[in-house]
Amino acid sequence: MSKVWPLVFMVLSIGCFSNGSGRQNSTVPDLVNIGALFSYNTSVGRTIKVALEAAFDDINSDPNILGRTKLNLSLQEDSKYRGFLSIAEVLQVMASQTVAIIGPHSSVTAHVITHIANELQVPLLSFSALDPTLSSLQFPFFIRTCHSDLYQMTAIADLVDYYGWKDVIAVFPDDDNGRNGISTLGDKLAERRCKISYKAALRPQASMEEISNVLVQVALAESRIIVVHGNTQLGPQVFTVAKNLGMMGTGYVWIATSFLSALLDINYPLSPDSMDEIQGVLTPRIHTLNSERRRSFVSRWKNLTRGNTANVKLGLSFLPIYAYDTVYALAYALDAFFKEGNRITFSTDSKLSNIHGNNLNLEALKIFNEGNLLRRKIYEVNMTGVSGPFKYTSDRNLANPAYEIINVIGTGTRRIGYWSNHSGLSVVPPETLYSKPVNLPRKNQKLFPVIWPGNTDEKPRGWVFPNNGRLLKIGVPRGVSYHEFVSQIKGTDMFEGFCIDVFLAAVNLLPYAVPYKFISYGDGKNNPSMTELVRLITTGEFDGAVGDIAITTERTRMVDFTQPYIESGLVVVAPIGQAESNALAFLAPFTPKMWFVTASFFILVGAVVWILEHRVNDEFRGPPKKQVVTVLWFSFSTMFFSHRENTVSTLGRVVLIIWLFVVLIINSSYTASLTSILTVQQLYSPIKGIESLVNSKVPIGYTQGSFAKNYLVQEIHIEESRLVPLTTPEEIAKALKHGPENGGVAAYIDERAYTDIFLSSRCDLSVVGQEFTRNGWGFAFPRDSPLAVDLSTAILQMIDNGDLQRIHDKWLLSSACLSQGSKLEVERLQLKSFWGLYAICGIACLLALFMYLIQILRQYQKHYLEEPESIGGQSIGSSSRSSRLKTFLSFADEKEETVKSRSKRRKMERISYRSSVGSSSNKEDASRRSEYANELL
């Protein structure tokens, strides 16, 4: 520390003798000082230095940028993560009236020196300090010229979600950059219902032993998805230790942030030992557009780095590319700044000049008066750089962030896809998708296959049971109602029953061992609350729950359930008795609506057939009274196929055939239903289902500890005072037998799985109505537990191979009351079962009437076209509408043969009339010609 203070005093004293006291006014300067703060003794720093010097040379040699003004680069060595020295270094750079500083390399240093930049209003441009918390709101003079880690963490979160993993472990240096980056990753994972289950923090300068101790704890954790967020120094050490601990094998997933892709690009090719340590690792690389300018820069890179790297070959990563573009962006901003007539001036900070003591010479530090204006000009830059389009959005981040997803394989890497905030994960370059609509749904994401650690192409499951000797604590409800489902074997800690056997069979199908132990929940005297058992999973008292646990909305908000292994909705159980027959039993097969529609169609079809047959069939003619009787007789006689009237017209026969088919179906259904009603014993209950209970005031029983109480009160709004808790099956049967008049209950509500067991030996009780919920039973585990997913797969496998049915038959199969042939309610035939037949018949009738109407209209028109003209010179067509309607109805009522004969007779009369008129006119012409001849003589 004694060596540091003289350095600070020296820097400040330099500022005292600089040309900066007071306010300076000048025209466009010949030279503008730009500082650069990096660590140049590393491979990354060397590439950055080469890129910066190349950019300054290119700009100073281009008269189209800044004209005669030249940029002067002042390189300052960064002390790397040493905050106080970083302050001294940045002060040294600012002492020479610097208008902007490029750097620093790390976010840790940026957090320190950005406060100085804000105070002196000097823009700080960094393409490598990617901490998302270096926001423009808190640090307005910090300008990020590369994409923030916010987007990189979003890409990693999408990658985790794409493969269906839920828990990840984060390994990171415990500094500003590490903590803030992992915090951002946690937020993005939470948006996708994923999480960081363990944060393994490392000291920024951690030794190999410290890294080993941390990774041992990681190996004992459950998750096998490990995200490493570090730098080019610490990151490779993590992989070296992981390789030595055997953590780079099958089952692990390693995702490294962009430090690894930068390291691979700069030091390519890595040594075989180094490559062997990172086999199968995934890492994002900032995507740059493959433009002509980039290809030109790549071809220059070998010449730029030759002779400048101490015989070390330097590859090209995104860092020197963005370093080059940063200098150009600053140059364009300065060019716009000067073209508007602005000048560079500095002034003394009065607050610093008032500070005295120990000759610190703080008054030597100058404020860049036009710093705010230059900062705005930088954000207005819109250019095409080596990296591609360089433009800021309204939130002051570079537009169109995109990454390549790299898979380390063998001696090199392979790109498996891209990520952008426009299209998510894709195998298509992002720039080809920017013109299309945003497309981020998970189902549209796609990547090429990956070679995972252990040289396997099979996607890792992503988790294992932690190898720490701890058994999973599985809570098992200790109820007193139905031991067929779950019961504790006396004198032991073991359990048996249907639910237990299903769980054991599912666990045996898993491809890995599950260490667990059953822990009873409940006092054995009362049924425990299943909701409370589920809640204890959220507190960590249990790691899961196995038993007759219904999947309800309230419980799914707390835990994750497996696939249901048995369906069990709520039903109503009530006493039943034999139904008494009555004189109107023959009406029971059809509902009132069915009877009404059937009778209406009988009359409708009779009327249609009468209309179609009236003009051609003598049996459908006669006085009105007789015709009405004929229609009714014909209609209802078709029920027994005993109609004596024959149909003559084609349309009438078509309608009748269709109707007789309908009658056949109706008669057969009626006969079958009536036979069932009269021959099978009918049982009766005054309670028809949950609706009748809601509309009544009778007491209702439910199983104590069941979710049925909350459902009836909260969802169906039954008064809680009407609900009676019951415990054992014997108590339930007794309450139903006594009824509400003797202190019992009118009905009992429980889950279907329970009632099947309960009713197997109680034939005087039955389920009435339908199930009014659709629940199932499942095993409960903490939210996002991978065990719930794997057990669900195992349960589905048991359904397919029949194991689940065999376990069901072993514990729950009973047939005590299944052979009595009793039926609780009359299954009345409803209109919805026959509406198709009626629709066909109705359409046939309408079509027949329409065709008949067209036919009779054509006959009517033809008949009246043949009518002779009246004596008064008026045709029939000139008569009134009412007379025409009467004429048409009279025509429609006439028999068709009569109309045809009359038409034929009129036609003959018309021909005779025309011939007689013609002969008389010939005689008159002859006499006229004779008279005319006599006159001429």
Nearest to 133 by CA among 190, 83, 185, 180: 180
Q: What is the mean pLDDT of each run of 10 residues along the chain (937 residues)?
A: 42 40 57 88 88 94 91 78 63 77 88 86 93 87 94 96 93 93 95 92 93 94 93 93 94 95 89 93 95 92 74 84 96 94 84 56 75 94 94 92 95 94 91 80 83 94 78 91 89 91 94 90 88 94 94 93 92 76 69 83 81 72 73 73 69 81 82 71 70 88 88 90 90 90 90 88 83 90 89 94 93 62 57 80 86 79 56 45 68 66 68 62 54 46
Q: Which two tokens stand for residue 299?
A: 């071809």
Sequence-distant contacts of 731-736: CB under 8 A, at least 24 apart: 732/701, 732/703, 732/758, 733/758, 733/762, 733/765, 735/701, 736/573, 736/574, 736/575, 736/701, 736/765
Residue identified by tokens 């749904």 is 441
The kind and range of the H/E element at 533 are: helix 530-539
> For residues 81 and 41, is the Cβ–Cβ distance under 8 A?
no
Amino acid symbol at 815: S
- The DSSP annotation for 733-779 comes to HHHHHHTGGGTS-SEEEEEHHHHHHHHTT-TTEEEES------EE--
State the burial class of residue 765 (Cβ atoms within 10 Å of its Cβ: 0-12, 13-18, 19+).
buried
At residue 707, what are phi and psi to the nearest 5 degrees?
A: -75, -5
Whether omega for the bond prior to residue 269 falls within 30 degrees of 0, making it cis, is: yes
State the burial class of residue 449 (Cβ atoms within 10 Å of its Cβ: 0-12, 13-18, 19+).
exposed
The angle, 0 to 180 degrees and rounded to 10, between the axes of the packed helices 176-191 and 107-120 is 100
Maximum distance among all Cα pairs of the chain, rounded to whole angstroms: 167
Q: Which two tokens stand for residue 614?
A: 């009236």
List CB contacts of 468: < 8 A, sequence separation 6 or more.
220
> For residues 780 and 544, is the Cβ–Cβ distance under 8 A?
yes
N-terminal to C-terminal alpha carbon distance within the chain = 164
Dihedral of the CA atoms 80, 82, 88, 90 (nearest 10)?
40
> For residues 125 and 146, is the Cβ–Cβ distance under 8 A?
no
At residue 74, what are phi and psi to the nearest 5 degrees?
A: -110, 105
Distance, CA of 364 to CA of 386 (rounded, Å): 39
Overall size of the chain counted in residues: 937
| Number of neighbouring beta carbons within 10 Å of residue 626 | 11
DSSP single-letter state for residue 552? -
Q: Collapse the DSSP code of 145 into the 3-class scheme (helix H, G, I; strand E, B; otherwise coil) and give the result.
A: coil
Residue identified by tokens 């985790």 is 160
The side-by-side arrangement of strands in the sheet containing 723-726 is: 723-726, 700-703, 747-751, 570-575, 765-768
- The DSSP annotation for 62-96 comes to -TTTTTT-EEEEEEEE--SS-HHHHHHHHHHHHTT
| Residues 729, 730, 732, 733, CA torsion sign | positive
DSSP single-letter state for residue 284? E
> For residues 280 and 30, is the Cβ–Cβ distance under 8 A?
no
Dihedral of the CA atoms 925, 930, 936, 937 (nearest 10)?
170
Q: Which two tokens stand for residue 10?
A: 């020296």
- 73 bridge partner residues: 34
Q: Which two tokens stand for residue 451?
A: 């070679």
Distance, CA of 804 to CA of 801 (rounded, Å): 8
Q: Which two tokens stand for residue 240?
A: 């070296």
The side-by-side arrangement of strands in the sheet containing 472-477 is: 516-521, 472-477, 544-545, 780-781, 560-561
C-alpha distances out from residue 523 to 144, 478, 520, 729, Å: 63, 7, 9, 18
At residue 696, what are phi and psi to the nearest 5 degrees?
A: -115, -175
> For residues 655 and 845, is the Cβ–Cβ distance under 8 A?
yes
Distance, CA of 397 to CA of 198 (rounded, Å): 30
Distance, CA of 520 to CA of 106 (rounded, Å): 55
> For residues 23 and 346, is the Cβ–Cβ distance under 8 A?
yes
The kind and range of the H/E element at 455 are: none
Q: Collapse the DSSP code of 478 into the 3-class scheme (helix H, G, I; strand E, B; otherwise coil) and give the result.
A: coil
Distance, CA of 175 to CA of 173 (rounded, Å): 6
Whether omega for the bond prior to residue 104 falls within 30 degrees of 0, making it cis, is: yes
Distance, CA of 937 to CA of 932 (rounded, Å): 9
Q: Collapse the DSSP code of 538 into the 3-class scheme (helix H, G, I; strand E, B; otherwise coil) and give the result.
A: helix
Question: What pLDDT does residue 493 have?
Answer: 86
User: How far does Cα 190 stand from its chain's mean position?
Assistant: 15
> For residues 497 and 486, is the Cβ–Cβ distance under 8 A?
yes
Dihedral of the CA atoms 721, 722, 724, 725 (nearest 10)?
-60
- pTM for this entry: 0.68
Nearest to 492 by CA among 681, 794, 500, 322: 500
